[in-house]
Amino acid sequence: MDGRTILTGAAEKWRGMGSTQKVAILLLAVALVVTVFYTGSYIQQANFAPLFTQVDPQEAGPIIDRLDAMKVPYRLTDGGSTIQVPKNKVYEARIQLASSGALLGGGIGYELFDRTKLGITEFEQQINYQRALQEELRRTIVQLDAVEQARVHLVIPEKTIFTEEQHPPSASIALKVRLRSELSSAQVKGIVALVSGSVEGLNPENIHVIDMRGQVLSEDISADSLSGVALSQQEVRRAYEKELEKRVLSLLSPILGPNKAVAMVTADLDFRQQESVINVPTGDTKVVSEHEIREESEGTGTGGAPGTDTNLENPPVYPAVGGETSQSHSREERTTNYHVGTLVETTVQPPGQLRRLSTSVVVDGPVSAAVAEQIQNVVSVALGLDSERGDQVLVSSMTFDTSLQQQLEEDMATAEAAAKERERAEMIRNLIMAGALLLLLLIGLVLIVITAKRRKPIISVKEAEGPSPNPGSVIVSGKIGPLGTVISVSEDPDADLSAEQRDIRELARKKPEDVAQIVKLWLADK
């Protein structure tokens, strides 16, 4: 049986159907097409997975062109910023895109020098090197989790033989931070160190980093070292205070209830580093050495008049007045060395010593004096306060303003209710669609069954009259059946026909070939 015969038979069956049956079949076909469409869409959506998310249009173009060349089906969602491919081709597509260079973000790095050009000047070579270096730095920076996109601009002055005329290089970096992300000062410092180490002669103070809102991120890094040390000390002090505040709240929350107390701690820390050395004698003294000197002398001499004449070469001679005199000298010196044991004590005081601690606790609602005193004692012991050091704790009671918190809770409840309502509406819509499709299928089946029952001929069974050719059998349309009965149509199909129509029908039964030939001639004439 060929296709033409099948089509002809189907057309004849379609013409032989009633209008009700045709409508039922059409409804059934429409329901089947809609069901297949939605089922296929759901299956196709379930089989797709994100290949890349948050893709810029400039980067999405080469990726889509490459996917078309690879004959990989894809879908664009989230306004074109997300590219989805079949789940079983995600990793294969990423590898092929990476190897083809479609993921380079549209820039050209050191692969710019893979293409050799003849006749290129030194200036063009320098510009190409600067472009390639900028792109390579950009590719490295965007690997950070918090950075979505980056632009790097380098200023590399031309080298000269005159040192006084040589200008230092500089760099500017613009960063696009991902949503709900933030770059820490350590990460910005790392970016500055990366660029500084990649460009010859580039100092960190000549590198400027900004975000897309125009905020300077490298301002703290370019500050002097003293400011950096002071900032670090403030961070240490604040971290210590927050830890103490957390301990106080964790102690009071089970007693007063959550969000019923607020604690603030102020710590006075000494960041000076001191080192002291003390030598303490210890043990018994012992004589190590002893030295003694004694001198004695005696003699006589002539004295003269003191003055200028005594120092002349030929002074005048005068008779002695006093005559001879006697002289004597005596000196005694004694030295004793002792050995004494020495104990050397070196004390190093690390920075960050606590000098004073002040704590303030505010409790929600009225609190009696006895309860306030108990809270003060508990907090003092928990923090290890020292009255001699000047530590103090203050407990007071005030009524908290919770209007903002209530507003936030109401907004969150409203958003949650709206989300649940959307989910419920989505579920109802899906159920309605499924129910409508099922109802269409049921209606189609019922109409087909009803139409088939209406077109079924009514057959009555009656006993055969007269002697049967074979007792115990029936005659069906001229045939003998079992049970000795005759099955015949209740109505004669030729009862309403005229004599001419009956003759034509009889002729068609006896000579069907001749009747068919006559009908063909009639159709040919028309």
For 47, residues 6+ apart whose C-beta sits below 8 A from its C-beta are: 86, 87
CA 227 – CA 233 distance, rounded (Å): 10
CA 398 – CA 154 distance, rounded (Å): 58
Per DSSP, what are the bridge partners of residue 287? 338
CA 358 – CA 492 distance, rounded (Å): 116
Mean pLDDT by 10 residues, the chain (526 residues): 69 72 76 73 67 75 85 82 84 78 62 72 85 89 87 87 78 88 87 91 90 82 58 85 93 90 92 82 77 77 54 57 62 82 81 90 90 92 90 91 84 88 85 80 76 54 44 43 42 60 77 78 68
> Do 265 and 244 touch, CB atoms closer than 8 A?
yes
What sign has the CA pseudo-torsion 177, 183, 188, 190?
negative
Overall fold of domain 47-105 = Alpha-Beta Plaits (3.30.70)
CA 377 – CA 389 distance, rounded (Å): 17
What tokens does 490 get?
A: 């209740």
Q: CATH assignment of 111-222, given 3.40.640.10, 3.30.565.60, 3.20.80.10, 3.30.300.30?
A: 3.30.300.30
The hierarchical CATH code for the domain 236-271+351-400 is 3.30.300.20
Per DSSP, what are the bridge partners of residue 348? 275
pLDDT given for residue 297 in this prediction: 76
pLDDT given for residue 442 in this prediction: 80
For 64, residues 6+ apart whose C-beta sits below 8 A from its C-beta are: 74, 83
> Do 201 and 235 touch, CB atoms closer than 8 A?
no
Which three-class secondary structure state does DSSP give residue 372?
helix
Overall pTM > 0.75 = no
> Do 310 and 353 touch, CB atoms closer than 8 A?
no
What tokens does 283 get?
A: 């043990």
Which three-class secondary structure state does DSSP give residue 405?
helix
CA 481 – CA 470 distance, rounded (Å): 9
